[in-house]
Amino acid sequence: MLAKQFPWIIALLLLAGSVAATAYQLYPFYLDETSKKEQQASNIPKQAITPERTPKRNIAKFELFGDFSAPAAQITKQENLPKTRLRLTLTGVSASNDPKRAKALVEGPDRTTLNYAIGDQLPGNATLHAVYRDRIVLDRAGSLETLEFPKLSSSNFVASTTPEPEPIPTITTPPVDVTNINTMRNNLSAADKKSIKDKLSALRAKLKQP
């Protein structure tokens, strides 16, 4: 058994020796290539890598929707102003302590809603003077007037009712008297019965035709 496997063992040993000799011959070339790559990498000037700076933003300092706390002294001073008689409707406000950021949505007599800032002129020769949470102050030729949000009433809502369905008419048919039918059938003669039977047969034949 060992004598049969001996040639295979010799062949494997020769193959391993050939691979080792080839690797030994190629190893100096591998070292030369590695040293060249390291030398080229060392010749490249190193650029200073500076970490990216992310801007720091304090979101709490931003007034995204305005500051809805108006100054108390100004509110007290302008609480008892007369209401304006202009045909204007206040639809929205964005109050802020900064007058440049205060805005108001006002609908004019033509049903057009526009966004106004303090100092803008409104229909009726009025100027937006101040913006609060529940009203705005208008300046008309030096006199101050207020425009508040409209009050909701029951007249603003329309009740919708579903109409009741109409009753479906009922159709009554008179009862069929079975006794009369049997009597009529008994009164038929043999010829009449045969005639009716022939007509029915002819009708069935017509129905069977394509």
Q: What would the two tokens of residue 95 be?
A: 């109050």
Task: Domain 83-148: give its CATH architecture.
Answer: Roll (2.30)
Cα separation, 106 vs 129, whole angstroms = 13
Three-state secondary structure call for residue 125:
coil
**Domain residue limits, the chain:** 83-148
Q: pLDDT per residue over 152-206, tens digit each?
A: 754 444 444 445 566 666 555 556 555 665 666 666 677 777 777 787 777 777 6
Q: What is the pTM of this model?
A: 0.39
- The bridge status of strand 135-140 relative to strand 103-107 is unpaired
Any residues with CB less than 8 A from the CB of 149 and at least 6 apart, and which? Answer: 90, 134, 135
